[in-house]
Amino acid sequence: MTKKIAKGSSAVASKPDTAVAVGVVGTMPVHFDALRKALAAVNASIDMSEAAMRRDVATVTAALVSTLGDKALPPRNRGRFTGLRTYDFQNTLFAVNDRAGWRFSDRTLAVAWAVELASNRCDFIVHADYVGSTRTAYTRGRHGSNVIDLTNFASHVWPAPKAAKAKKTATATVPAADDAPNAGEEVTGDA
């Protein structure tokens, strides 16, 4: 089954989250650099058949696993390699897609979504046309929130662990300055 979708556009609206998204990429340079390189290897393909796109998903996944290590699939709506929420990952890719080295077609972005967001209910290969409609919502500021959740970035713990309650501990008393020995003064057992 072959679907027809528009070629990817590198135009990205100037949104408040664009700077944040670029910062997100800077926060995880190894992850996003590995993704960029893996996507560049399949970006030239224009074959929209499901079989060709699934081969590209396998290629990109293998490249990321070899660079970043194998990551267990996270709970639904979290990225496999970044831990980002679905729309945070998508918005980050839209925001950086206008930068040199990123400019990927909608087909390639669909492959990226299928790799990173493998635990989602949506099959982004079957619904590759969602990239264009999602870009439209993003450009209009109506896709997800403008706050990118960095909670799970470094740890890849899904979901983020709850903060443990602080235990009460005994505090040591420190002698007042008057009670402390002066510098050079010999301390003896007799006070």
What's the average model confidence in pLDDT over 39-49?
94
Question: At which residue do the structure tokens 């740890």 appear?
Answer: 155
Q: 73 vs 92, which has greater pLDDT?
A: 92
What's the average model confidence in pLDDT over 155-161?
38
Residue 78 has phi, psi (to 5 degrees) of -125, 150
- 188 pLDDT band (50/70/90 cuts)? low
What's the average model confidence in pLDDT over 53-59?
96
Q: 100 vs 184, which has greater pLDDT?
A: 100
- 97 pLDDT band (50/70/90 cuts)? confident
CA-derived radius of gyration, the chain: 25
What's the average model confidence in pLDDT over 51-75?
91
- 22 pLDDT band (50/70/90 cuts)? low
pLDDT, residue 164, reads 46
- Contact residues for 6 (Cβ-Cβ < 8 A; gap 6+): 106, 132
The Cβ of residue 30 has, within 10 Å, a number of other Cβ atoms equal to 10
Domain map of the chain by residue range? 16-139
pLDDT, residue 152, reads 46
